[in-house]
Amino acid sequence: MRFLTKSVKRNNHPKQEKPPNRKPAVTAAYLSFTQEQIEQRLEVARQRSTACDLCPRKCQVDRLADQKGFCGLGNSALISSINLHHGEEPPISGKSGSGTIFFSGCNLACVFCQNYPISQLRHGHPMTSSELAAKMLNLQIRGAHNINLVTPSHVVWPFLEAFALAVELGLEIPIVYNTSAYDSIETLALLDGIVDIYLPDLKYADDAQAKRLSQADDYWETATRAILEMHRQVGFLKTDQNGIAVRGLILRHLVLPGGLAGTRQVLDFLRQNLGAQTTVSLMRQYFPANRAHDLPPLNRPLYDEEFKVAKDLLERFELDKGWIQE
Ligand code: SF4
């Protein structure tokens, strides 16, 4: 794989495709697990949800009793949408699409969140584990290359409950964990061998900005530790003969106006700690949303010059595997 000078256009309106009705080309590492091993992971996650510490906020509320913490979710997952998505990075979307499940709620509260009706207003509908398992299997039948969990950090236990059922019924495509990187090491340990592809967005290098913009004053240490753990589990990105992701880490970074994301420090961290083999997806899709209109410089799109500086940094740090999304 080489660095693409051609930009990847993200597609915010996923197309529905006719089901190709064929066996998946890429199967998942979790197929080596016994059902009992998956159930054990689920049981630990369920227990931890009774004094919830599924994510670094450690709210200690009893989620099983429908108490709600920072993420606003109680005893079930809320689903915003489930689709075949064609706008993710090429090895994730492939030709047939990525089977995306958009979970409502979030353990961050970004002032500029472009999905804030889903993440902060929690628009969505509850789904039982068996309903969610059936949806996963349906995505597989429709040809999805993977099951792509979008914003899953606060719903790991409902996901595992549905996943255990889906595997029993024949799920065999890889799981993608698509996250803000504000993840607990202990929760990631429960996903070791279950998640094949980690897709974290390293959002800030500066905790003061993370606190002001996302209410996460320990973001940098938490997110960087989480990314190192993700990399320990799955390593660098590997693709099959068709270029479809089989396993590994793809690191996203959204460049913010005014240098608020700390792009230089983010890329320096990746180069120093993971090395030049790291697959990076550099994104410039920022536009003002949610409360950003009142918070300059977040009230404007990114300048061309700001993104050029970010692209030059990729070159300077020799991070030449991945994509630029403009
Ligand atoms: S998952 Fe939700 S309730 Fe649990 S610790 Fe995180 S924010 Fe709090």
The 10s digit of each residue's pLDDT in 42-74 is 999 999 999 999 999 999 999 999 999 999 999
- pLDDT given for residue 27 in this prediction: 78
155 CA: nearest ligand 1 atom:
1
Nearest CA to ligand 1 atom 3: 69
Structure letter (DSSP) for residue 236 = B
pLDDT beyond 80 at 190: yes
Nearest CA to ligand 1 atom 6: 55
Alpha carbon of 219 to ligand 1 centroid (Å) = 15
Mutate to test the pocket of ligand 1, among 50, 54, 160, 218 (most ligand atoms within 8 A of CB): 54
Q: Which residues of 20-41 are buried (b: 16+ CB within 10 A; e: fewer)?
A: eeeebebebbbeebeeeebeeb
Name the nearest CA neighbour of 42 among 197, 179, 155.
Answer: 155
Nearest CA to ligand 1 atom 2: 71
Taking CA atoms, 21 is separated from 125, 133, 143, 196, in Å, by 28, 18, 6, 23
Mutate to test the pocket of ligand 1, among 64, 70, 75, 122 (most ligand atoms within 8 A of CB): 70
pLDDT beyond 90 at 148: yes
Question: What's the chain's average pLDDT?
Answer: 93
- pLDDT given for residue 326 in this prediction: 85
- pLDDT given for residue 26 in this prediction: 72
| Helices (runs of H) and strands (runs of E) counted in the chain | 10, 10
pTM for this structure?
Answer: 0.92
Mean pLDDT within 279-290: 96
| Residue 25's pLDDT band (cuts 50, 70, 90) | low
- pLDDT given for residue 54 in this prediction: 97
pLDDT beyond 90 at 205: yes
Mean pLDDT within 97-124: 96
60 CA: nearest ligand 1 atom:
5
Name the nearest CA neighbour of 253 among 176, 145, 181.
Answer: 181
- Using alpha carbons only, give the angle 246, 252, 253 rounded to the nearest 5 degrees: 170
CATH class, range 29-325: alpha beta
- pLDDT given for residue 71 in this prediction: 97
Measured from CB, residues less than 6 Å from any atom of ligand 1 are 52-55, 57-59, 61, 69-71, 107, 154
Alpha carbon of 54 to ligand 1 centroid (Å) = 6
